């Protein structure tokens, strides 16, 4: 297992620990959960950069990288919803994000069986960045609000921006898949 794959596996392992740290009732738990989440998200950037720089890709990394991202995002969003950091109308932003992730995963799996590549778009990468920053701010939550009173509001705003990007990129992937299926049928 090369270094990019190890970083991806570390991100998968980090997901439950983010939840445990966030839920564990001790002083500064929000900070520790936020810090671990940020480190895990940094591994996403580093594993891609290292793999591109070294020219190494592996089937394991290709499989695990999107799974790692979806696991830690889903765990964090569900935990934030349970904690009611994300509540009311803002729950819809989380639902949109989770539904798109499931849709795109299904589309990629289906199109993969047809040997049709589904490349990640630049906007989808930006969506991921905005989404991760939003979740980082939301994990900091009330502890972050003590340092900067707008931490949670800023996180919720970014979450909605990520949800809008999510809708657009999800539609893009769906449109490309439908276009391919229509072309394939003819």
CATH architecture of 3-185: Up-down Bundle (1.20)
62 pLDDT more than 80:
yes
Does position 100 have pLDDT exceeding 90, yes or no?
yes
Length of the chain: 186
Q: What is the DSSP string of 4-72?
A: HHHHHHHHHHHHHHHHHHHHS-STTHHHHHHHHHHHHHHHHHHHHHHHHHHT---HHHHHHHHHHHHHH
Mean pLDDT of the chain: 89
Task: Report pLDDT for 114.
Answer: 75
Torsion angle defined by CA atoms of residues 30, 31, 35 and 38, in that order, rounded to the nearest 10 degrees: 60
- Whether 181 shows a pLDDT value over 60: the answer reads yes
Neighbour-count burial of 57, counting CB atoms closer than 10 A to its CB (0-12 exposed, 13-18 middle, 19+ buried): middle
DSSP reduced 3-state for 186:
coil
The confidence band for 166, taking pLDDT boundaries of 50, 70 and 90, is very high
Summarize the confidence of residues 7-14 as an average pLDDT. Answer: 95
pLDDT at 104: 86
Specify whether the backbone of 27 is left (phi greater than 0), alpha (psi in -120 to 50) or beta.
Answer: beta
| Higher pLDDT among residues 114 and 63, named by residue | 63
């Amino acid at each position: 297992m090369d270094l990019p794959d190890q970083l991806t596996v570390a991100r998968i392992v980090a997901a439950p620990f983010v939840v445990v740290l966030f839920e564990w009732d001790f002083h500064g738990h929000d900070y520790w959960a936020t810090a671990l989440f940020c480190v895990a998200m940094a591994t996403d950037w580093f594993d891609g950069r290292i793999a591109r720089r070294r020219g190494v890709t592996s089937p394991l990394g290709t499989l695990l990288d999107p799974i790692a991202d979806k696991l830690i995002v889903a765990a964090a969003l569900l935990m934030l919803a349970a904690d009611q950091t994300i509540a009311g109308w803002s729950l819809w932003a989380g639902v949109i994000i989770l539904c798109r992730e499931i849709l795109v995963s299904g589309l990629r799996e289906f199109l993969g069986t047809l040997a049709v590549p589904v490349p990640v778009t630049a906007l989808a990468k930006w969506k991921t960045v905005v989404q991760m920053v939003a979740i980082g701010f939301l994990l900091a939550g009330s502890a972050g609000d003590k340092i900067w009173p707008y931490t949670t509001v800023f996180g919720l705003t970014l979450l909605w921006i990520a949800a809008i990007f999510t809708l657009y990129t999800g539609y893009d992937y769906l449109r490309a898949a439908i276009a391919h299926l229509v072309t394939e049928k003819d």
